[in-house]
Structure 1
């Protein structure tokens, strides 16, 4: 079995990297028809995921890199997640090209880099979700510490450390695969002399990208839900207070989106992770994993859901965050040559920063001032600026006509 079949379209025990055991530990029976069926499903479903996911992730990265979001720590993490997901989908796309007889994967260098980047992007993507779940917990459970704990500068440092750690951790995987000449054809496949160490890395990868991060996400989500439920009455009282209503609304928009990101990730990846764990345990105990046709088909469907988790994040942001919808509308107006609202984007940016300052209680300038009054002053300032610009334009046109 070739590496391309093993990575994306053959019997796999991992959702994001190639099966490490297919040539040595797995035995299949009566899978010919199912294999043809899943190949046909892949031929049409995976390109649809790529066609939507890659542009959507790039758009999401562009949105969260605007001033509106990049000054908040969750914006930095979401930019990193969008780029990691894009790299993962591109690597999977290179494997899928086998379906259309484009054998890019089987070139020396490409073979090794696809494996390496797939490991790194899957690792960073899941840990970005962990970071977002933790930040969401802090925003809900410790709202007055948001300004000190959830800073964009600290988020940038965390992203750099995560990338360095991932690059170092998975650096040996560059030697796990090689391109061999088999009957005149180049094939990217597992190096036989690296079988043992690749087996060890499979369990290490399962630990750091499956068991630990998914466990942390679930724990953070449970703690977040418990905090929300216990403080429900207090939140209702805060909503009745007009002086802090704007701050509460802005905080809820952010926390709702971060909660949706974590829950969506768990729903789409949990089935694939459970299948992977079951197969790993079977190999550990019995040195083999017999798979029935029904199990293989189910596993393949779960794998497609896993791929989908890297592609639909933009939809989650749009549905659960009005600021994302607002920013996308401004970009649409700008690209369609409609009058843009840069002042509006600036106001949205100030609202995010203002919310964090109010939550942290670290700024004396914000203490004791009704948020609605501050917002009205800001709107009046922007309106005055816009009116002045309009008057200057009218005067200029009148002078030209005279």
Structure 2
């Protein structure tokens, strides 16, 4: 979930037109924004794109794609990769390569941004729920945590997001403002429609999944307190239960699921809270009371939100042994194929 790309540009232009001297932020804030916007953001996006693309390849490998949890992580990695690529395209405007400020590209980028944002937060909520079922109700996991049900659920989420945000394909457009092309919702009835979609997006990609995720995390952390091995915590409470090999496999990935949810909440909450305060102020005052300082702060917090997706790959590497093995096997297999190809050429 994020401020849409077209809204960033329209808000910035309107603020610059009406900015007073007292609205000008401090030089330290401007410098922090400049560093994060010009240097940090592309690094986060490139690492996040490549890392999650690699993670998607690992989680769809033959040995890991059997579990529903790995399937959710694979879909999360795919949508995160697309999201990071879209953010990188929007960042190109900062270095005077305005790729998104073209018709069709503008509409497509805005549409995919909403869809990927929706999918990532709901997949995080589903992953958190899966962790809860695995650790607290392991017997129910054999019925709940199934690949077939995971595919159906993800398909429903994709269909919902496509239907929900399809209006952005024709409600956004490229306009000439202040001698520059801007991807914007426009100044007619389409702007009202975009505002409506924006408020709907606030509910379905912020309030609902956020409440679900935080509630389940509190229930999980309150019981286990992030022990070094969740399997130890599980057997402490269920010492008389014999579990199957598949259930043991689910327990091995339980801590990773919880850490993914926690990192998302930690890094994305500041941006979400700032955005919520902005919307509440807008509704109460019936006008946009934001200033340049608010814009710069939001941009910095937005980069923290982007980092939450890059942090996923770090969590996989640090805490998921099966992921490391899958990553190693993929690169080993590729080296083997390359060496075999070179030998056949020499012979």
* Structure 1 position 187, deviation (Å): 3.3
* Structure 1 position 83, deviation (Å): 0.9
Match of 1:19 in 2: 7
Say which SS state the counterpart of residue 184 (structure 2) adopts: strand
- The structure with the larger Rg is 1
- Counterpart CA distance in 2 for 1:55 and 1:165 is 27
State yes or no: 1:83 paired with 2:82: no
Contact 2:2 2:117 survives alignment (8 Å): no
Match of 2:329 in 1: 330
Contact 1:238 1:248 survives alignment (8 Å): no
Match of 1:316 in 2: 315
- Counterpart CA distance in 2 for 1:57 and 1:71 is 19
Contact 1:77 1:128 survives alignment (8 Å): yes
- Counterpart CA distance in 2 for 1:191 and 1:201 is 14
* Structure 1 position 249, deviation (Å): 5.9
Match of 1:118 in 2: 113
Match of 1:236 in 2: 236
2:207 pairs with one of 211, 227, 230? 211
Contact 1:318 1:325 survives alignment (8 Å): yes
Contact 2:127 2:257 survives alignment (8 Å): yes
For 1:143-182, what aligned pairs fall within 5 Å after superposition?
Answer: 143-181=138-176
Say which SS state the counterpart of residue 289 (structure 2) adopts: coil
Say which SS state the counterpart of residue 115 (structure 2) adopts: helix
Which deviates more from structure 2 when the two are superposed, residues 66-75 or residues 132-141? 66-75
What is the number of equivalent residue pairs in this alignment? 325
Gap regions ≥5 residues in structure 1: 1-12, 341-402
1:30 pairs with one of 15, 24, 34? 24
RMSD: 3.1
Structure 1 residues 320 and 240: alpha-carbon distance in aligned structure 2, compared to 1, 3 A threshold: farther
Gap regions ≥5 residues in structure 2: 226-230, 340-347
Contact 1:73 1:151 survives alignment (8 Å): yes
Say which SS state the counterpart of residue 69 (structure 1) adopts: coil
Q: Deviations over 1:294-318 (max 9, x none)?
A: x554433211100111222111112
Match of 2:288 in 1: 288
Structure 1 residues 37 and 265: alpha-carbon distance in aligned structure 2, compared to 1, 3 A threshold: closer
- Counterpart CA distance in 1 for 2:184 and 2:122 is 28
* Structure 1 position 183, deviation (Å): 7.8
Contact 2:64 2:70 survives alignment (8 Å): yes
- Counterpart CA distance in 1 for 2:97 and 2:14 is 27
- Counterpart CA distance in 1 for 2:15 and 2:315 is 39
Which deviates more from structure 2 when the two are superposed, residues 309-318 or residues 213-222? 309-318
Give the TM-score taking structure 2 as reference length: 0.83
* Structure 1 position 250, deviation (Å): 3.8
* Structure 1 position 199, deviation (Å): 1.8
Match of 1:261 in 2: 260
Give the TM-score taking structure 1 as reference length: 0.73
